[in-house]
Amino acid sequence: MELLNTLVEKGLRRELPTREEALAVLATSDDDLLDVVAAAGRVRRKWFGRRVKLNYLVNLKSGLCPEDCSYCSQRLGSKAEILKYTWLKPEEASRAAAAGVAGGAKRVCLVASGRGPTDRDVDRVSETISAIKEQNEGVEVCACLGLLTDGQAGRLREAGADAYNHNLNTSEATYGDICTTHDFGDRVETVKQAQAAGMSACSGLIAGMGESDADLVDVVFALRELDPDSVPVNFLIPFEGTPLAKEWNLTPQRALRILAMTRFVCPDVEVRLAGGREVHLRSMQPLALHLVNSLFLGDYLTSEGQAGKDDLAMIADAGFEVEGTDTTTLPEHRVPGGTCGDGGCGDGGAGGCHGAAEVPEQAAASGDAPSDEVRRGLVAVRRRGAGTELPPNA
Ligand code: SF4
């Protein structure tokens, strides 16, 4: 297919596809799906080989958020029966992080619900970062605390945070449909603050919220412009008790096309398979490894993921390898001090907190797809790990 040849050539050169080309990936047929995966897989292997980076979420503070992000089980007015607790102590967070590291995670992602941290919260998280780094040599720590105010990014960096996550989630044009308490520009500003403070930026999207193909392409192009080092791609987990509980719009094929499009637009960036993979990709998860070079191990913030040992087995069975701490995730040209100085995502310039479907008419065409009831049964509220007495999944 001419489109795929063009996209592979561009991806190998880190050249930005056109919007039309990105849209055309989303419009490919199921008959062409394996060709799309194979083409994007060539780009993935060029920049990341067969390595898979594992990341581990620790939910430092769960639920009771004053913001109204409609996809989020922790939102204002959420009726979802999730765990609710206030800040974990540094040693509690460190214990949870250690379980993830023991399970193979290279990065620990410290997440807290809320609009953004107070300065006291930044102090707490700084203590937690110190505890985790003392007890887990070589681990990367990413903070995800919401919107930052002046000076907070610098303080987190000084405390040892390697990265900061704040997702754009959806297109600027539709942002107001999913949240009214902050806007797209607020999110962009926080990602820029993290970058300016010297942290590696992590920013991604959530697919399956009823958005159009154009919205998906818009948000991925906006991410490319922002040039994060990692781009988590979440697939909406439609939690009962949230406004998007009925948005069961994705098919595994649609999810794979979204991941392939993201890879073509951000060829040399860590594209991370994030929340919702088990629910929406289901038995097709191994194919996604040809597109992403990173995923979350174990559980999510408020829902349970596949058992950590099953993640490891899936990676090995599919012929991939877990990336060790002795390997740099990003290609040399994206690493500060690397020999190729021409910049970031291609032309130089990525359910849960703050960030972590196919359109309905396409979903309707999949006559044999599991019913909504069956898919709802795949969503399990997290009842183990951080904030509980039970051991974490890692
Ligand atoms: S995504 Fe973050 S800011 Fe939005 S409701 Fe959830 S916890 Fe609050």
- Annotated ligand binding at 202? The verdict is yes
What pLDDT was estimated at residue 353? 52
pLDDT at 378: 85
pLDDT of 341: 42
Long-range contacts of 321-324 (CB under 8 A, 24+ apart): 321/50, 321/51, 321/52, 322/51, 322/52, 322/53, 322/54, 322/104, 323/51, 323/52, 323/53, 323/54, 323/106, 324/106
Residues of the chain with pLDDT under 70: 337-368
Residue 356 Cβ contacting ligand 1 at under 6 Å: no
pLDDT tens for each residue of 90-131:
999 999 999 999 999 999 999 999 999 999 999 999 999 999
Q: Rounded to the nearest whole angstrom, what is the distance from the C-alpha of residue 60 to the centroid of ligand 1?
A: 13
Q: Where are the beta strands (DSSP E) in 51-113?
A: 51-61, 107-112
Do 381 and 50 form a contact (C-beta atoms < 8 A)?
no
Superfamily of domain 2-325: Aldolase class I (3.20.20.70)
Specify the pLDDT at position 371. Answer: 80
69 is in an annotated binding site: yes
For residue 73, report the distance from its CA to the centre of ligand 1, in Å.
8
What pLDDT was estimated at residue 344? 39
Answer whether 344 contacts ligand 1 (Cβ < 6 A): no
Mutate to test the pocket of ligand 1, among 57, 74, 164, 186 (most ligand atoms within 8 A of CB): 74
277 annotated ligand-binding residue: no
Map out the domains of the chain as residue ranges.
2-325
Per-residue pLDDT, 326: 83
The DSSP element (H or E) to which 135 belongs, if any, is helix 119-135
Helix pair angle (2-13, 19-26), 10° resolution? 120
Distance of CA 273 to the CA centre of its chain: 6
Nearest-atom index, ligand 1, CA of 115: 3
| Predicted local distance difference test score (pLDDT) of residue 347 | 43
- Ligand 1 site, residue 65, Cβ cutoff 6 A: yes
Please state, in angstroms and rounded to a whole number, the distance separating the CA atoms of residues 267 and 125: 32
Q: Is the pTM of this model over 0.85?
A: yes
